[in-house]
Every structure is written in structure tokens, then in C-alpha cells.
Structure 1
Amino acid sequence: MTRLKGKQKEEREENIQLAIKHYRKCKTDFSIRLSAETHGIPYSTLRDRLAGAQNHRESHRHQKLLAEQEEKSIVRWILKMDNWGFPPRLAVVKEIAAHLVSRRASGRKLGVHWMQRFLERNTEVATKLAVRLERQRAYADNPAIIKDYFKKLLHVIRQYKIIHDDEYNMDEKGFMMGAANRCKFVDLGYSY
């Protein structure tokens, strides 16, 4: 069986809980098999859960080096740093976790796959590749240029009496219906 990702694990656990409720609602001779088939989970999984087996997360909770609250704190820090525009590198996140572990459990270290499992457990964060900001985009992030642009836009809207229903959004390629080729255009060209 292939390894399930974070969202898939959550969905599978929801299906198991629904199957348990279904079984408890209609206790008949074949209701375990019926409940399992109805909710798309293996018969043996439902049978074991009804006999008292725990899900993988619960059964291995005592083996985790970080407490759940510590992991949630790391997630909150990651989200805060991302909101501030400084998303942390994977190595920094792992260093923070390793520091927390070293303070509490001497001699214990994070495993090779800790980061991958951390991301599977905490689906609100994910890895992304950083891309370089093009020079022209960096120049355009100038408050004076942005203010000037909106001043000119407001002037054009008032001059031609454009109503909101006739406003459309475009990217830097413009609004070229059916034309995908590159073309030259005339621009005011700010000197930076």
C-alpha cells in the first residue's frame, strides 16, 4: 500500500469514523463488512478499530520528540514569518525543532525524515521554491511610481467617464484576444 499524504490521511480517518458510526447504528451480523464497504475502507481496519486499535498518529504519539503544542508553535512562527515576507528555510525550521528537542531530551536527535513528516502532520504549511524577483518588478515596487500610476488611471477614468462595469483587469501582456505572439509596444518608460 502506498504512503498517504496529510490530506489523504485526514480523509481516510474521517471515513473510518463514519464507518464506526454506521456500524454502531445498524448492528447486524454482516454490518462490519457492510459499513467498511459503504465507506470505502478495508474490513480489517474497521474490525481492528472496533476492537480497540488506535490510528497511526495516536499509537505513535509517545514516540514523537516534540509535543503537539511545540509543533503548533513552530507552525504559527512559520506562518508569521511568511506574512512578514521572510519565509524560513527548511534548515532553520529543523534547527529550531532540534534545539527544542535537545533542551528536553538529551542525546535524542531528529530523524532524517523529520521535516517531511512534520509537513505531512501540519498541512497548513508547505514547501515552495523561491524565485528571483526580476529587476523591473523590483523597480516597479516604488511607492512614487505606484502613486503616479493610480493618479493617471483616475484621470483617464474621469476624462472618458468610464463606469465600473466597463473596467477590466489585465496583466503585462495586455488584452490580446487570439494573439499569443510577442509584440513591441510603446511605454512611457520611467528612468530608474
Structure 2
Amino acid sequence: MVQHSNESDLVLALNALRSDPKLSVRKAASHYKVSRATLQRRYHGQPARRDIRPPCQNLTSYEEETIVRYIVDLDSRAFSPRLSAVREMADRLLRDRGARRVGTNWASNFVRRRPELQTRFNRRIDYQRVLCEDPDAYRAWFSLVRNTIAKYGIDDTDIYNFDETGFAMGKMSSEMV
């Protein structure tokens, strides 16, 4: 009996079983050198372990992707959410379907396992004003403003004056976002 089965060999064995009704699972496993028990389970519809969502994972892949897109969207508007806000997003999704809440470390673990996300410290306003003396920073900021106006179809009469930190209500000091 083979302990470790190659996925491609399993697929070949499954195709052989489906194409030849007289072929037994035992013979197919022996011929393709795969585990008979694994082939039997796959033949009867059990998916591969890597394709199954772990039971301890609260959110579906789609829900996690939704949270990632929302975080990236907020960050593109210069309003990066704190870890507590990310946790609240997950809890809100889970509450809608009546599932239990995520744990206290869920948000930091979520950011760690998603390569497109990272934590960083939000700087005080004085530091940002020094950085805005750089012409490239001005260009980047106004490029962000132009892109946001174009993306959401914002009319010129709906634009109000904010400073270079954006609309950052409740952010008074350095904090991790």
C-alpha cells in the first residue's frame, strides 16, 4: 500500500474508473500506485483535504475576499481601518448568518495570512505635513483624488476642503492601522 498519493495519479485512476465500469477500485489503485482508501473516498465524492474549508475557519473564501476588497478600497481613500475595525467587519458578516464571532487575534492572523494586506503605523499630522513638502507626494495625493472622483462620479459641487491627511475623524495620534 502506498502512503503518499500523487494528485495527478489519483485523477488518472478516477478517470479510468469512470470510463471502464468493469474496473474495480482495488485494481485501479494498484495499477496507478495510489492508496485504495483514498481512491475509494474520492470515487464516492469526498473532495481532497486541501479543497475542504477547515472547520475552525469561520468565514468562507468569498467573505474573506469581500473583507480584503473593502480594506483595500478604504486604504485607497487614505482611510486604513484598524485591526479592531477589521474584526468588526468579520463579526458583522458572521452575525448576518447567525454564526459565532471571531476570536480576539483573528484580525492580526487574517492580515498575516493575506499577502496583499499589512499593518503599519499611522503617523501624526506633523510628520505627514513634512512629507507633503515633496512634490511627488503632492502628485500622488492629487492623483488619488482624481481617481476617486472618476471612480465614484463625484460632482465638483460635492467636493469639500480637507487637509492632506484626508477625512480622518477620530485619529488623534499614532496608531496601528
TM-score normalized by structure 2? 0.44
Tell me: higher relative CO, structure 1 or 2? Use CA pairs within 8 A at least 6 residues apart: 2
TM-score normalized by structure 1? 0.41
Structure 1 or 2, whichever has the larger Rg, is: 1
